[in-house]
Amino acid sequence: MQIKRKPQGSAQTGSGLEALRLNGQLHSLTRRAERLTPHVFILPAVLVILALAIFPLIISLYMSFSRLRFVPGGFKIDFVGLANYRKLLVGSEKTHFLGVLADPSPVGWLVFIIIAVLLVISLARYIRRGKFSAGELVWRSLATVVIGSGVWLLVRTLGSGGRPGTVVVTLIYVFVGIFFQYVLGLGLAWLTTQGLPGRRLFRTIFLLPMMITPVGIAYLFRMLTDTGKGPCNPIWQVLGLADFSWVNHPWGGRAGRS
């Protein structure tokens, strides 16, 4: 009597293929998780930036195309398109926005010609290299026109008989302020690295603002959380925490430390 045995090759082959398939799926999931891990870690920072910077910027852009009117019981927002920009550039707010334009002085003409020539030379050298795209060329040309227009506005409003508007005043504050801040900061930092007498004292003085700010924040927080006579006393009374001592209760101490 002969006993027939079933071949095991096909079963082993099937189980091997199943194991390979599972290993492939696991490897694919692992690689996908590794790719998503940086995005998951950076997502909270992106959400904070969106909430504090991008969304307000979008809302401000929308409000620039609208007109806010106060009505009984609240306010009303009407979409007006480019009417606000037209008022700033060519309308009733032109003198406040752009300023009063006057004929440039000889010095103003000289400054404008020098800067215009430098801008044209820079754009020509960029085009001469031949390695650029259409988008880059458009942005370069637009930047050249904007800078040249800004210099022309400065020359005409800062000359005799002119009056700078909010655009010129803002540009002066931004660029002049940033220039002097960087020059002064780098100069003082360079001096503290030299072998000069008293450099340790000046290093300490320069670091004092960094030390004072947290102390001021701590005093401000202490004043706000004063349940007896602080500025938030009405809120504490509504919450039933009038004359509440934070340090006498464990959860109050934990909340204060957080």
> What's the pLDDT score for residue 195?
78
157 burial class (0-12, 13-18, 19+ CB within 10 angstroms)? buried
Sign of CA dihedral 186, 187, 193, 199: negative
Residue 154's CB: how many other CB atoms inside 10 A? Answer: 22
The DSSP code for 225 is: T
DSSP secondary-structure letter at 51?
Answer: I
Residue 116: per-residue pLDDT: 92
pLDDT digits 0-9 by tens, 104-163: 888 889 999 999 999 999 988 888 887 777 888 888 889 999 999 989 988 888 888 888
Q: Higher-confidence residue: 244 or 210? A: 210
What is the mean pLDDT of the segment spanning 193-219? Answer: 83
Helix (H) or strand (E) holding 30: helix 9-49
Partners of 79 in the β-ladder: 66
Dmax (CA) for the chain in angstroms is 124
Q: What is the pLDDT of residues 43-54, one digit of tens each?
A: 888 888 888 888
Amino acid identity, residue 187?
Answer: G
Domain ranges, ordered by start, for the chain: 17-81, 100-192, 207-257
